[in-house]
Amino acid sequence: MADKPASSVNARRIITDQECQAMIQKSLRTPMVRFLRQQLEKAGCPIGDNFFRAVYCHQKMQGAYISGEGVTVCTNYIRIQDEVNQVVTHELIHAYDDCRAANLEWTRCAHHACSEIRAAHLSGDCHYKRELLRGFTKFGGQGKECVRRRVMQSLATNPDCAGTAAKDTIEAVWDKCYNDKQPFDREP
């Protein structure tokens, strides 16, 4: 699903598709990505290296998971290796959710919201160091606040989440989805 960068990040073409592709390959060697790929394989959804593509994105986002297709990383909205690692990890949690659920419907706000909560929570998107880099310096409970903010951004393009639906749906599924840490044993 489309995942937007912090609003301060503007479209800039700094890295080439080739450089981005190399960063993706490097991300595949990180412990988190390796673990998620192992878990995907165990769950019956093995993914190859060609599952990931570096593309120039016209929509303001860092990456996306497209069911049945794979993961795209947006060359024009990422700058550093850590962001690629983060995007790849985040999108693989969506891929895992897609794999384990028999009938996940991305168009439905509740299904989409649940996966975004899990992806933002479990991928490390809201690690305090990353929040500091984005300019958010408020401490205490910032983890959940960050997850909510990023989920809202990701749901913005889903018509089923229009109006107050996004906020209401996040509230409705929050406990169940925030506490669902599969395939991790605990908060990674």
Q: Which residue among 1, 23, 33, 99 contacts Zn ion (CB under 5 A)?
A: 1
* Residue 83 contacts Zn ion per CB under 5 A: no
CB of 26 to Zn ion, least distance (A): 21
| Structure tokens, 56 | 């120039």
Footprint on residues 109-128 left by Zn ion (CB under 5 A):
116, 119
Give the shortest CB-149-to-Zn ion separation in angstroms. Answer: 13
Q: Indicate which residue of 41, 83, 91, 116 is catalytic.
A: 91
Q: Strand, helix or coil at 127?
A: coil
Tell me which DSSP letter residue 159 carries: G
SS percent in the chain: helix, strand, coil, step 5: 55, 5, 40
Q: Does residue 91 carry a catalytic annotation? A: yes
Across the chain, how many H-helices and E-strands are there?
Answer: 7, 3
Of the candidate residues 154, 158, 169, 170, the single one contacting Zn ion (CB under 5 A): 154
Q: Strand runs (DSSP E) across the chain, as ranges?
A: 52-55, 63-66, 70-74
Among 3, 83, 125, 131, binds Zn ion (CB under 5 A): 3
CB of 120 to Zn ion, least distance (A): 7
Binding segment toward Zn ion, per CB under 5 A, in 2-10, 36-44, 128-136, 165-173: 2-10
Q: Interface residues with Zn ion (CB under 5 A)?
A: 1, 3, 116, 119, 154
Report, as residue numbers or ranges, the catalytic residues: 91
